Amino acid sequence: MRWLSAIFLLACALPAAAQEEVVSGLSQDRISITANFEGSDLLVYGAVKREEPIPDTGLLQVIITVEGPSGPIIVRRKSRQFGIWVNTSSVEVDDAPSFYAVAATAPLEYVLSQTEDLRHKISVPQKIRSVGAPQDVMDSPAFTDALIRIRQREGLYASAESGTHLKEQTLFSATFDLPANLVEGNYTTRIYLLRNREVIAQSQSAIYVRKVGIERWLYTLARDHPALYGALALFLAGLAGWAASEAFRALRR
Amino acid sequence: MQIYLPIAEVSVNAFLLFGIGGLVGVLSGLFGVGGGFLITPLLFFIGVPPTVAVATGANQVVASSISGVLAHLKRRTVDIRMGIVLLAGGLAGSAVGIWVFNLLSRLGQIDLVVQLTYVVFLGLIGFLMLQESLRTMRRNRTGTAPRVKRHHHTWVHNLPLKMKFRASGLFISVIPPFGVGAAVGILAAIMGVGGGFIMVPAMIYLLGMPTKVVIGTSLFQIIFVTGFTTFMHALTNQSVDLMLALLLILGGVVGAQIGTRLGARLNAEQLRVLLALLVLAVCGKIALDLLLEPGELYSLAKVRS
């Protein structure tokens, strides 16, 4: 029995020794959305840890991704009916990240094979899960494309072909531009090491994006005590209206 | 200076919001319209989600209306008695309107109905007001004495439940003002606005109230209608953004005071022409949006949970 487990351990250890591993860090693992939040830069950096010399089987490539919380979304399309433009068809996309950025050492199709992309879901289109469009919609991919196009324009989806810098096949880093219209939640950064267009190692870490201070307070109050929140909104409106009226009267005297 | 809005979850320029609030506030004080028909499209334009824009716009209108009413109260140009009758009709109407709104949303075409109602009503009212006030201005210029028909007796004057509205100088049945309030309430709930731009011409042309009193009275009833709307939105959709509202309000209350004082200097006919042109401009913009091919045919919407 003991020799069996010894062999098992050896079998596990052998490929691990030959492998290249990722050691990584983040410039910040906690992003606070304050009242004057204007977006943030995120630096993902790291190194490749090896026990052996650099293998000469193909060039090392690195892909780094940052993904925001996911959720369903409705994509609507307008068409002309009786001379006016109306929303006529819609597709509910089951799951799409609110933010997704990919940075690689070279163009993605050059670094990553299609099967590996399918397996690890790395490129932007792979991140969007849409099962079953309604019967009257024949071209559901057009809706997914539109979703990607709109979010790219808003800076929420990004794909940088040479956004990751790799030095001496060991040290790498990438900077991500997190926009001001960031949604709160748990974000994930993933680092993939690739050779011959195949993923040979990966690691992931979490970033917590949270509203803080007055932002947090208002958001929680609106969710948990809507009646109180509504009353507060009306009270403040009344107060402001009265204060302005009084201030102007004082000014005229 | 950028500021992050906690409910809308977008970051926008604080001075831009202050400016929008101020502009709408001036119009509010000047014309007695809440400005909801203007502020909501402007907020869409700077990237605030529609549900948040509608609800927060209503909150801003409450503040600017209060500021405006207080200014009008000091000039004794608010017919509170008339306002209360209109308001009673308005609340009854908005209850019906909310029911119609929910029915239409279930049918899935609420956006279109809202836009079409905007085009039809803004177009109709704008055109009628412009025509009428231009005719009066021309008559005044040629020097012929305007035909003053203060007491033309119609079937309206034979209705029961007569009441004296001293500030307006009217002695009429409460049924017409209640009816006007109800009709405006229905439209206001469907269109998501205070309804001042319908109320003001209705009070002038249907009830025969003097223009001087109309604005203050309209603002008076708008406070309660939009207050009710704000509260309902906060309760059911949690879509009122206080941060956004406060910035708009800051601009709005200041603007409303300026507008009220500006209004005292202009004459009634000029005011009416200006309001008519403004209403027609908004109407034209919405009509163009419906008629021209949009740059992006697709739009994203959050799934309501």
Which range is least confidently modeled, A169-178, A195-204, B215-224, B234-243? B234-243
Q: Which residue ranges make up each domain of chain A? A: 14-211, 212-253
Q: Confirm if B225 and B219 have CB atoms less than 8 A apart.
A: no
Indicate if the pLDDT at residue B109 is higher than 70: no
> A234, B227: Cβ pair inside 8 Å?
yes
Which range is least confidently modeled, A170-184, A225-239, B158-172, B278-292? B158-172
Supply B149's token pair: 């028909």
Write down the architecture of domain A14-211 according to CATH.
Sandwich (2.60)
Note the pLDDT of residue B107.
65
Alpha helices, DSSP H only, in A19-168? 108-111, 114-120, 124-127, 140-153
Backbone phi and psi for residue A45, each to the nearest 5 degrees, phi listed first: -140, 165
Which one of A83, A233, A238 has the shortest CB-CB distance to B242?
Answer: A233
In angstroms, the separation between the Cα of residue B158 and the nearest Cα of chain A is 40
Smallest CA-to-CA distance from B88 within B201, B200, B207, B224 is with: B224
Q: Does B297 touch chain A (CB under 8 A)?
A: yes
> B249, A240: Cβ pair inside 8 Å?
yes
Smallest CA-to-CA distance from B244 within A63, A218, A130 is with: A218
In percent, how much of chain B has pLDDT > 70?
A: 88
Supply B26's token pair: 């001036």
Which one of B47, B67, B74 has the shortest CB-CB distance to A241?
Answer: B67
In angstroms, the separation between the Cα of residue A229 and the nearest Cα of chain B is 7
Give me the interface pTM, i.e. the ipTM.
0.74
DSSP state of A129: B
Indicate if the pLDDT at residue B61 is higher than 50: yes
Q: Which residue ranges make up each domain of chain B? A: 2-143+155-291
What average pLDDT is seen over chain A? 83
Which one of A36, A83, A218 has the shortest CB-CB distance to B242?
Answer: A218
Q: Does A71 touch chain B (CB under 8 A)?
A: yes
Strands (E) located in A212-252: none
DSSP state of A183: P
Note the pLDDT of residue A18.
47
Question: Please, which pLDDT band fits residue B205 given cuts at 50, 70 and 90?
Answer: confident
Q: What is the mean pLDDT of residues A91-99?
A: 88
Vertex B38 angle, CA B275 and B114, to 5°:
105
Supply A108's token pair: 């993605």
Question: Please, which pLDDT band fits residue B32 given cuts at 50, 70 and 90?
Answer: low
Q: What is the mean pLDDT of residues B214-228?
A: 85
Indicate if the pLDDT at residue A10 is higher than 80: no
Q: What is the mean pLDDT of residues B184-188?
A: 79
Q: Does B133 touch chain A (CB under 8 A)?
A: no
d(CA A201, CA A49): 11
pLDDT higher at B160 or A109: A109
Residues of chain A found within 8 Å of residue B302, distances taken between Cβ atoms = 71, 73-74
Question: Please, which pLDDT band fits residue B173 given cuts at 50, 70 and 90?
Answer: confident
Question: Please, which pLDDT band fits residue B158 given cuts at 50, 70 and 90?
Answer: low
DSSP state of B174: S
Q: Does A94 touch chain B (CB under 8 A)?
A: no
Indicate if the pLDDT at residue B221 is higher than 80: yes
> At A168, which amino acid appears?
E
Q: Does A229 touch chain B (CB under 8 A)?
A: yes
**What pTM was computed for the model?**
0.71
- SS3 call for A101: strand
Q: Which residue reads 């693992």 in tokens?
A: A29
Distance of CA B127 to the CA centre of its chain: 17
Question: Please, which pLDDT band fits residue A11 given cuts at 50, 70 and 90?
Answer: very low
